[in-house]
Chains A and B, each alone.
Chain A
């Protein structure tokens, strides 16, 4: 499985935008970039995913570099409920690879 690299931790002030980076230099052409987050005492929760183009949903935006070797998850206005561990995952669904390979993730702390 292609590997992703994320900072271990980040802090952000409440109500400010947060940019969570992820490097995936060995990404293949059929790898989708997925983001999940895990709130304290809960199972992981899907956030967003994309292949090549930038993506937006009600939770976040995903900005993907043109060469696809990196991506950034953007939380537009962080709240205390966004404090979680965020995982950037590459997933090749075309070859029946259903498993998610989690890295260590980024622990996001929101400062009131």
Chain B
């Protein structure tokens, strides 16, 4: 079974631009979570979707948004990029609500210049 895939793997943007990252969960998984990883703050939870509904949200500004489609694929969008948004963005999927294990993708590395 294929793992979690994220596209693109690397991205360079400039301040003020917006970006959309994509995540395809493991087949059959309906829950998708997003995390941001930076050297200074470590891994931080962004939001989680299940059945196209956002169930949990972390402490990030409104510039960070996401959505989930009926096939469980998810996208996250960051508008008006800032230098501090440079990070590794990780997507994780799990079978359902309450599932113990999350399976992470390789991440999208975003560099904002």
Listed in ascending order, the chain A residues whose CB lies under 8 Å from chain B are 32, 34, 41-46, 49, 87, 91, 93-94, 96-105
Contact across chains for B98 and A99 when beta carbons are under 8 A apart: no
Partner of B102, one of A94, A100, A103, A104: A100
Q: Given A99-B33, A101-B45, A103-B42, A93 and B107 touching (CB < 8 A)?
A: no
Contact across chains for A34 and B43 when beta carbons are under 8 A apart: no
Q: How far is the CB of B59 from chain A (nearest CB, A)?
A: 11
Main secondary structure of the interface of A (DSSP, over half): loop
Q: Given A43-B104, A43-B107, A45-B104, A100 and B45 touching (CB < 8 A)?
A: yes
Contact across chains for B42 and A98 when beta carbons are under 8 A apart: no
Contact across chains for B101 and A102 when beta carbons are under 8 A apart: no
Question: What bracket does the count of chain B residues touching chain A fall in?
Answer: 20 to 34
Contact across chains for B106 and A46 when beta carbons are under 8 A apart: no
Which A residues are in CB contact (< 8 Å) with B4?
A: 43
Contact across chains for B45 and A46 when beta carbons are under 8 A apart: no
Contact across chains for A99 and B45 when beta carbons are under 8 A apart: yes
Main secondary structure of the interface of B (DSSP, over half): strand
Pick out which of these stretches binds chain A: B13-21, B71-79, B89-97.
B89-97
Contact across chains for A43 and B92 when beta carbons are under 8 A apart: yes
Contact across chains for A93 and B98 when beta carbons are under 8 A apart: yes
A94 nearest in chain B by CB position: B98
Contact across chains for A102 and B55 when beta carbons are under 8 A apart: no
Which B residues are in CB contact (< 8 Å) with A32?
A: 100
Contact across chains for A44 and B43 when beta carbons are under 8 A apart: yes
Q: How far is the CB of A9 from chain B (nearest CB, A)?
A: 15
Tell yes or no: B66 within 8 A of A by CB.
no
Tell me the complex Cα distance, A94–B36, Å: 25
Contact across chains for A98 and B103 when beta carbons are under 8 A apart: no
B98 nearest in chain A by CB position: A93
Given A93-B98, A97-B56, A104-B42, 17 more A-B residue pairs with CB atoms under 8 Å apart are A32-B100, A41-B106, A43-B105, A44-B90, A44-B92, A46-B102, A46-B103, A49-B100, A49-B101, A87-B43, A94-B98, A96-B56, A98-B31, A98-B50, A98-B56, A98-B97, A99-B58
Q: How far is the CB of B99 from chain A (nearest CB, A)?
A: 8
